[in-house]
Homo-oligomer: A and B are copies of this chain.
Amino acid sequence: MNKIVVLYDSRSGNTKKMAKLVCDGALSLSETDVRFLSVSEASAEDILWCDGIAAGSPTYIGLVSADMKVFWERIIKKTWGKIDGKIGCAFSSSGGRGGGAEIVCQSITTIMLNFGMLVFGITDYTGPGQTLHYGAIASGQPAEGAESDACVRLGRRLAEWVAFFCHGKKEAYPLIQEYKKK
């Protein structure tokens, strides 16, 4: 079973909408179990349980939100040194393009690297002019189409890598998936 945590912080609800789409993507791969948790709900046990984590934060002043930072810095700090090798990725909703969503994704993956995790980017385009090389981003709530699809793709890819790397499912390898042809 691919065990995924979709972890989010959200105030306006935009990042939570992204998180739900990430869940949908992860669940689209068979034999996948997802825990959908805000930073106030998730515990060290959830993080220890999972194979992979997709973490999303609103773009607050160009970095991961303070609440998301508190989660890693205090709430699950005791898992540091115990979760090396879990697989991670990031997503963020900003107030506008050029507002730092990519840089927030980078700050989330920086945290994950510190914990010894493996993080990934995605080469795919989910539509003309929309990709997710460093994680899925949205301006405000995820727009229907390519922006929402990027969130779905992120969750799907996380599940695929978990299946492929953690559970030896060679058939989950993304480059042989149908959607790559887009």
Contacts and interface: CB of A to CB of B under 8 A. Distances in A.
Given A61-B72, A66-B69, A123 B116 contact: yes
Given A85-B164, A103-B106, A110-B103, A96 B125 contact: yes
B73 A111 contact: no
Contacts of A137: 97-98
Count of chain copies: 4
A134 interface: yes
A48 B135 CA distance: 24
Contact of A99 (B69, B70, B133, B139): B133
B121 A114 contact: yes
B62 A123 contact: no
B73 A60 contact: yes
Contacts of A115: 61, 121, 123
Given A97-B137, A100-B134, A110-B134, A66 B62 contact: no
Interface in A51-98: 60-66, 69-70, 72-74, 80-82, 84-85, 87, 95-98
Interface residues of A, number: 67
Nearest to A82: B175
A85 B63 CA distance: 20
A97 B131 contact: yes
B100 A133 contact: yes
Given A61-B80, A85-B173, A129-B139, 10 more contacts: A82-B175, A85-B120, A96-B125, A97-B147, A98-B102, A98-B137, A102-B102, A103-B103, A114-B133, A129-B140
